[in-house]
Amino acid sequence: MNYRVVPGWARAVVASAIGRRNRKRVDRWAAFPQWPIDLSTDVLEDLSDVPRHADHSTRRAPVIVTHDIDSPEGLLNLVSRFLPLEESVGARSTNYIVPCAWRVEHALVGEVVSRGHGVGVHGYDHSNTTPFAAPAERIRRLDAARGFAERYAATGYRAPSLLRTRPLLRDLGPRFRYDSSIPTAGGLFPTPNNGCATARPFRIEDILELPITLPRDGTLRFLGFSPDEVLRIWMECADLIARSRGAVVLLTHCERRFSGQAGMFGAYRRFLEYVRDRHDLFVFSNPSSVLAGVSS
Ligand SMILES: [Zn+2]
């Protein structure tokens, strides 16, 4: 099977959005990996002589829902609206919170954890400088989050704006169990032609990487997709990932200008209900369960 094949309707929807915005440049911003999804690394792995992943045809695809919490508004919306929705379908989210930019309301983060959801570290102050800082400054910024990480048993890191460098990944290794900052197919962001073209966790620079496998809410909104189109793209990409034995990892933001807005929140709700109803294909999961099965 060719995991790079994007369903026809998705190509049409994407083509029309690109036509509105960026037709002349699509061959440059998504030549590889192909957007909205590209699993060609997994195809190559399955064609290779020693596949790392055993073929379990009855395996259900794990679905991990994550949020980047960039602001106090995001944290408030997470607890008041997103957690109840997720709990209603039997899901628990993983929430990467900026630790050192604004006053973190610890009562709210404590509630996230006590309700069974996960917390991770989302950079330092979201100024996008940590990956490019001098070594001592980068380590100072990473270590500034240590108290926060220990308090909430945060074992994962997500880079703000998904900006990362190999030196950053090397410094994350001793501090975190995993990183989740590399998109499967980044589209335009953080830079064109960015992504790992796999929906399976892997090891890089001595740390486990949990790729962000579905297109992100910010990219989809930027390209002008309606909530109905967003829902369809998420469902079709999730189906493709399930067929190729990957992990479905969705990143949304809880702020009003992202998925906190009524239409997008509705798309998110319908996606969660789709996953719940297709229990033959999917099972809600979390990073530690999925990464426990990755050979090192
Ligand atoms: Zn962010």
For residue 138, what pLDDT is reported?
97
8 pLDDT more than 80? no
Ligand 1 mean position, distance from CA 252 (Å):
10
Q: What is the dihedral of CA 181, 185, 186, 187, to 10 degrees?
A: 180
What pLDDT, on a 0 to 100 scale, did the predictor assign at position 24? 44
CB 42 within 8 A of CB 242: no
Amino acid 248 reads V
- Whole-number Å distance, alpha carbon 23 to ligand 1 midpoint, is 28
Cα–ligand 1 centroid distance for 67 (angstroms): 9
- In this model, does residue 21 exceed pLDDT 60? no
- pLDDT score of 296: 56
CA 125 to ligand 1 centroid distance, Å: 10
Distance from Cα 1 to the centre of ligand 1, integer Å: 35
* Band of residue 130 on the pLDDT scale cut at 50, 70, 90: very high
pLDDT score recorded for residue 5: 53
pLDDT at site 33:
85
Tell me: the pLDDT tens digits for 40-93?
A: 888 888 887 665 555 555 689 999 999 999 999 999 999 999 999 999 999 999
Please check the confidence at residue 232 and state whether its pLDDT lies above 80: yes
What pLDDT is recorded for position 44?
84
Give the chain's mean pLDDT. 89
At residue 1, the pLDDT reads: 44
153 Cα: distance to centroid of ligand 1 (angstroms): 20
Cα 102 to ligand 1 centroid, rounded to whole Å: 13
pLDDT tens by residue, 170-181: 999 999 999 999
Q: What is the pLDDT of residues 213-227, one digit of tens each?
A: 999 999 998 888 999
Q: How far is ligand 1, taken at its centre, from the CA of residue 87, in Å?
A: 23
Name the residue with higher pLDDT: 99 or 189: 99
Residues 6+ apart with CB under 8 A from 186: 33, 35, 162, 192, 193, 194, 195, 219
Token digits of residue 63:
């679905």
The rounded Å distance from CA 122 to ligand 1 centre is 7
Q: Separation of 68 CA from ligand 1 center, angstroms? A: 5
78-79-80 Cα angle (round to 5): 100
Q: How far is the CA of 253 from the centre of ligand 1 (A)?
A: 8
pLDDT tens, 150-166? 999 999 999 999 999 99
How far does residue 283's CA lie from ligand 1's centre (Å)?
26
Q: What is the pLDDT of residue 35?
A: 85
CA of 273 relative to ligand 1 center, distance in Å: 26
Q: What pLDDT, on the 0 to 100 scale, is given for residue 54? A: 54
Nearest CA among 114, 117, 285, 130 for reference residue 201: 285
SS3 252: strand
Does 23 score more than 50 pLDDT?
no
Per-residue pLDDT, 45: 84
Q: How confident is the model at residue 126 (pLDDT cuts 50, 70, 90)?
A: very high
Residue 97 structure tokens: 């919170």
Spacing, Cα 123 to ligand 1 middle (Å): 8
Sign of the dihedral through C-alpha 16, 20, 26, 32:
negative
Bigger pLDDT: 20 or 290? 290
The CB density around residue 139, as the number of other CB atoms within 10 Å, is: 15
Distance 44 CA to ligand 1 centre (A): 32
Please report the pLDDT score of residue 293 as a whole number.
78
Average pLDDT rounded to a whole number, residues 183-193: 83
Tell me the percentage of the chain whose pLDDT exceeds 90: 74
Residues 5 and 71: their CA atoms lie apart, in Å, by: 37
- Going from the Cα of 162 to the center of ligand 1, the distance in angstroms, rounded, reads 8
The larger pLDDT score, comparing residue 57 to residue 241, is at 241
CA dist., res. 23 & res. 29, Å (int):
10
Three-state secondary-structure class, residue 191: coil
What's residue 199's pLDDT? 95
- Largest interatomic CA distance in the chain: 52
Strands 94-97 and 61-69: parallel
